[in-house]
Amino acid sequence: MSQTRGRYDFCIGLVLAMSSSTFIGGSFILKKKGLLRLARKGSMRAGQGGHAYLKEWLWWAGLLSMGAGEVANFAAYAFAPATLVTPLGALSVLVSAILSSFFLNEKLNLHGKIGCLLSILGSTVMVIHAPQEEEVETLNEMSHKLGDPGFVVFATLVVIVSLILIFVVGPRHGQTNILVYITICSVIGALSVSCVKGLGIAIKELFAGKPVLKHPLSWILLLSLTVCVSTQINYLNRALDIFNTSIVTPIYYVIFTTSVLTCSAILFKEWQHMAADDIIGTFSGFLTIIVGIFLLHAFKDVNFTLENLPLSLRKDDRAANGTLMTTYDGYNDDEESSPCLGEMQSTESISGRRNGSLSAF
């Protein structure tokens, strides 16, 4: 019975995680459509300080869609392992990229299509080999988990590293080293996922009629989550303001997801009873998603399609005529002409659905 219940919860968490990515990915398209409609009307744009978007129903539809996605993501952590839910957050990037090619006329080049395919395959592999976490159904059990010596040491190290980066390394190297602010967001994000997991358990107990509000752990988790999310949003926005979005996004995804996997393994002992093939499958799926996200972002401004492939096959003929060209010669990589969806996506705080924390709307 317990095994059947665990499989049932796993399926619910999987559906919620995928629904979250769909809602959040679609929200960027709705918001973008609303902003473009305002631009055609001649209204002052949001980037210039205008607030006309507050009167645009498409923008509000996008906001509600993002809110629904965040709620679904929050609930997913209560049913499925964080090792599964967090990496699946990458699907929202794929959803927005695919929908933008249909509804915003923003071309998805060959690298992007391959990246989408790899991310989907990697997600599928991770779902198949996802670990089973130890059963934690009450706040009392969660408090015992949080008091485990292994997690206490991990959390202490995270806090110390974060404080050093914020007060010592950040002021000196934050403006020049992309890893400083992203590392702060990532390691703190691991703690925020633990808080979300605990609050998810508290909400399940609340619906069961238990006096959750009288349990001090509920308020500690809520306060900790607020602090973690605020810090994440602050330093992620700093990184996005200084460095290129196409670089920040994949690096943040990799470091953050790695931090969450480590924290989840320590807190919920997800890897303790995994077979060797499941461990290899999980890491392989994660690495495949990383490669897919890298291809999707790193080459998004390169105009490379299947029609360009024969160019490389004909380069010998061109060399004979004295007109040798590389495969990428003549491609337009002007950033000003590139799709702006990525920039809008970054300003919506990508941290939200990936880490179980609420995005800055």
- What is the rounded CA–CA span in Å between residue 170 and residue 186? 15
Q: Which two tokens stand for residue 251?
A: 């690096």
Average pLDDT value for residue range 221-229:
91
Tell me what the pLDDT averaged over the chain comes to: 77
Give the span between the Cα atoms of 153 and 68, in whole angstroms: 35
pLDDT, residue 165, reads 94
pLDDT tens sequence across 308-322: 666 655 555 555 555
Q: Can you tell me the mean pLDDT for 258-265? A: 86
* pLDDT at site 153: 94
**How much is the pLDDT for 162?**
93
pLDDT surpasses 80 at 306: no
Both tokens of residue 249? 């996004």
pTM for the model stands at 0.69
Contacts of 43 (CB under 8 A, 6+ apart): 50, 52
Size (the chain), residues:
361
Residue 151 is predicted with a pLDDT of 92
Whether residue 160 has pLDDT greater than 90: yes
Residues contacting residue 267 through CB under 8 Å, at least 6 positions apart: 145, 146, 148, 151, 154, 194, 197
Tell me the per-residue pLDDT of 76-103, one tens digit each, with 9 for 90 and over: 887 888 778 888 877 877 887 788 778 7
Domain boundaries, the chain: 1-79, 80-299
Give residue 42's pLDDT band: very low, low, confident or very high (50, 70, 90).
Answer: low
Q: What is the pLDDT of residues 107-159, one digit of tens each?
A: 778 888 888 888 889 888 988 887 766 667 788 888 888 889 999 999 999 99
**Under DSSP, is residue 45 helix (H, G, I), strand (E, B) or coil?**
coil
DSSP string, 82-111: HHHHHHHTTHHHHHHHHHHHHHS-----HH
Per-residue confidence (pLDDT) for residue 333, from 0 to 100: 46
Residue 186 neighbours by CB under 8 Å, 6+ apart: 252, 255, 256, 258, 259
